[in-house]
Structure 1
Amino acid sequence: MIKVVIIQAFLPPYRIGLFNALGQFDDIELHIMLLSSKKKNKPEWDNITDNAGFNKHYCKGIHLRLSHERTVHINHDVIKILVKLKPDLIIFGGFNISSFQAVIYSKLAGIPCILWSEATKYTEQNVSYLRYKFRQWIAKKSTSFLSAGKMASDYLNTLLKEKIKKPIFVGYNSVDVNLYQIKKSQISNNDLIHFKKKFSGKVLLFVGQFIERKGVIELFEVYKELYKKQEDINLIMLGSGPMENKLKSYINDYSLKNIFFPGFINQNEIAKYFAVADIFILLSHYDCNPLVIYEALSFGLPIIASKQVGNTPEFVQDGINGFVADYKDITYIEQKVDQILSDDDLLKIFSKNSLLLSKNVSHEKVAKTFYDAIQNTLHFYANN
């Protein structure tokens, strides 16, 4: 039996399926160490029951919220819990204080550790010299790596300057693909037709926080240009955030219509919005590997995304299931949205290809990648 400890800042609901699937392997005893019980800017996650089939351990500590998106966790008992658990291998996420503690313990205990990273050159572009050197140190001391995709792997390679080439395993974020498709199938045609009547024509969908980093102003600029050509186009802004009032002022300033703010929607209702949409659009200035891309794939939506979104190389394939652009290129993005909306055959092809790509991000498939990474890392560590 291989005892594996995964260190996470908190337990997001989308990780539960992955961890349950990983825990199903007969020779894996899985422990999840949590630095915090909740995420401050995701209050909707607080009341989600997990029914986890793995062992959870909560670390004591203090949590310093430096910004809307960044919280520093200082946990004094990480090593104490590791000593008690005596794992055979540690997987830790990102570059933080607990990562340092995990590396120190792994060296003292003589066990391998895997750095699990979603960072890309875009998410790390403003990192200071000292923080960059800290990232290099963490990477140098790690036995192997789990990256969330090609862009994350490329960033890891910029950190590594080792004579021995360390293995990098690609483990995407995962979703319950079947669940989304079941939810879509459970919406009756009558309900969908009735819901569709709320929107006068084609529908663009955004899902996420209303913050500058998510490119919401650029999205409104694209919509403004589209609206000049076709006033029956619609935009659904599914989410919330500090920029909501600014976005509503933008609507008034430019006399835009058909922009909807449904507010917080529970998981059972979200399916209707994906089902009614014609295109999903995300123009982030930088983003690791947003889960919503996989959700859009699972509903068979064509996707327009900025090249700064970490999972675009694998899951938004230019001219295959959507288009990729720099978030600043408003004219090009507007042209590509218009191209898809004005060609029903192209829309159907993109939709079909999105569904095919969604099969790569099931919990079971990604859990197998993690399992292989664990086995191969143990072998690599024993022979180097």
Structure 2
Amino acid sequence: MNKLLIIGEFPAPYRVEVFADLAKHWSSKVYFEYQQDEKRTAEWLSRVSVDCNILDNPSAKKEFKQDIKNLKSYEAVILYNNCLKNAIILELFCKLKRVPYFINCDGCNDIEESNPLKKALKCFLMRGAAGYFAGGQSAVKYFEYYGANRKRIHLHNFTSLHQEDINKKLLSNAEKNCLKEKIEMTGKFNVVTVGRHIECKGFDIVLKAAEKIGKSVDFYIIGGEPSVENKQYKEAHNLSSVHFVDFLGKDELREYYNAADLFVLMTRGDTWGLVINEAMANGLPVITTKRCVAGVELIKDGENGYIIDVDDTEALVNKVLMLRDNEELCRQMSFANINKMQTNTIDQIAKDHIQVLESFFKKRSSK
């Protein structure tokens, strides 16, 4: 059986599941650069059958060095973020030992590299890959910028969704009203935004828009304890239409998506923005910025949502009011998003990867 060596950034569930599917086809060993939460990592890894190591302890680092020493025993290496230290080391040894390697990129905002030495190194490493997994067109552009062979770039839809996470149809008004009552969503037109209370998420712009719009639209900002600045702004401007909601579990968050009328993400920079996929899968029109890769990839302006400039409060206000006052347009966008998400699943990512790798191994064995 062919052996794979895989290195990723951190063990997010959607990533681990793809690796687990690869492990069903080939003997696979997985390393992650770090973990964000030890307890959650243990819980995620307990659900899948895959050999994982976190490079945050001496034992794992020693094993990683041993695998680099024995790199020729692997038929291929997959690098899921080739900009991190251990991935770069592994990439260099792949070139030195002539071990085929594949590079993944989910998406990218800032493609160009101003430092000529860094760019030269990236080009040197990038051009040697056997293949490239691109999560969208921005990833394709990223690979091409650093000299990747276009014929070796394989496009897939980046997502964290399973089929059961995607609505099959629009909810009826009765179903939405039932959910609103359950979660105490009281507004006539309800906007949801999701993320941590950090500056780049643009919640300050949402608050300014809420102030301009007034009480005809309710805003639900979901993502834990609000920042001091956001809390003070709400209090100072008496924004009773703004509701701060704590972190929610997957099922609870889905109730908010399904009860709401519109999703907004005023990000100042997201490498992807998986909440866009989630909102679309639950039939919400989407307003986001030009700095949200998921939005740029998935939203066609005016058809299933709107793409606006970063920090453009007026544009946000105008688009929210337009959708508030046009129920049929909202409905059309909701329907378009549900349809668009039907094949946007983790399973499909794994299938795409497997198809590429099977083809590669078949060609290699026939030489």
1:80 aligned to 2:66?
A: yes
TM-score (structure 2 length as normaliser): 0.86
For 2:272, what is the secondary structure of its paired residue? Answer: coil
1:153-209 deviation digits (Å, cap 9, x = unpaired) = 11221121x6x6551112332233433247999x97775142364322211111111
Is 1:352 paired with 2:335? yes
Which residue does 1:30 correspond to in 2? 28
Superposed CA offset, 1:231-276 (max 9, x none) = 13111111136x6211111112322222112212222321211111
Q: How does 1:180-195 map to 2 (within 5 A)?
A: 180-181=165-166, 191-195=178-182
Partner residue of 1:172? 157
- Output the CA distance in 1 between the equivalents of 2:99 and 2:187: 60
Going from structure 1 to structure 2, the CA distance change for 1:285 and 1:193 (only over 3 Å counts) comes to closer
Residue of structure 2 in register with 1:238 after alignment: 222
The answer to whether the 8 Å contact 1:60/1:77 transfers is: no
Which one has a larger percent helix, Structure 1 or Structure 2?
2
Q: Give the superposition deviation at 1:9.
A: 2.2
SS at match of 1:14: helix
Count, aligned residues: 361
Name the residue aligned to 2:36: 39
Distance 2:327 2:167 in 1: 25
Q: Which moved more, 1:304-313 or 1:218-227?
A: 218-227
1:112 is the counterpart of 2:100: yes
**Alpha carbons 2:180, 2:186 under 8 Å: kept:** no
Once structures 1 and 2 are overlaid, which stretch shifts more, 144-153 or 52-61? 52-61
Is 1:102 aligned to residue 90 of structure 2? yes
Q: Deviations over 1:361-382 (max 9, x none)?
A: 2122111211123234456778
TM-fit CA distance, 1:321: 1.0
Cα contact 2:166–2:338 (8 A) shared by 1: no
- Matched residue of 1:145: which SS? strand
- The AA in structure 2 aligned to 1:117 is C
The residue identity in structure 2 corresponding to 1:178 is Q
Equivalent residue for 1:224, pick from 204, 211, 223: 211
- Counterpart in the other structure of 2:145: 158
Structure 2 matches for 1:233-272, cutoff 5 A? 233-240=217-224, 244-272=227-255
Q: Which moved more, 1:281-290 or 1:308-317?
A: 308-317
**Residues 166 and 341 in structure 2, CA contact (< 8 A), matched pair in contact too:** no
SS in structure 1 opposite 2:145?
helix
Q: What is the root-mean-square deviation in Å for CA atoms of aligned residues?
A: 3.2
CA contact (8 A) 1:207 1:237 kept: yes
Aligned to 2:302: 319
Unpaired runs of 5+ in structure 2?
Answer: none
Residue matched to 2:315: 332
Amino acid at match of 2:43: I
**Percent identity for Structure 1 against Structure 2:** 18
Where does residue 293 of structure 1 map in the other structure?
276
User: In the superposition, relative to structure 1, how do residues 286 and 76 fare at CA in structure 2: closer, same or farther (>3 Å)?
Assistant: farther
1:60 is displaced (CA, Å) by: 4.1
> Closer, same or farther in 2 for the Cα pair 1:55/1:18, shift >3 Å?
closer
Equivalent position of 1:211 in the other structure: 198
Rounded to whole Å, the distance in 2 between the matches of 1:245 and 1:149 is 36
The 1:61/1:193 distance shift into structure 2, 3 A limit, reads closer
Change in 2 beyond 3 A, CA 1:21/1:300: farther
- The answer to which of 50-59 and 201-210 deviates more is 50-59
- 1:128-174 residue CA offsets vs partner (Å, 9 max, x unmatched): 555444433331332321122111211221121x6x65511123322
Q: Is the 8 A contact 1:34 1:56 kept in 2?
A: no
CA distance, structure 1, for counterparts of residue 300 and residue 321 of structure 2: 18
Unaligned runs of 5+ in 1: 64-73
Q: Deviations over 1:53-89 (max 9, x none)?
A: 44223144469xxxxxxxxxx9565342355573211
Secondary structure at the counterpart of residue 286 of structure 1: coil
1:359–1:53 Cα change, 3 Å: same
Q: TM-score, normalised by structure 1?
A: 0.82
- 2:41 pairs with 1:4: no
C-alpha distance in 1, partners of 2:336/2:167? Answer: 19
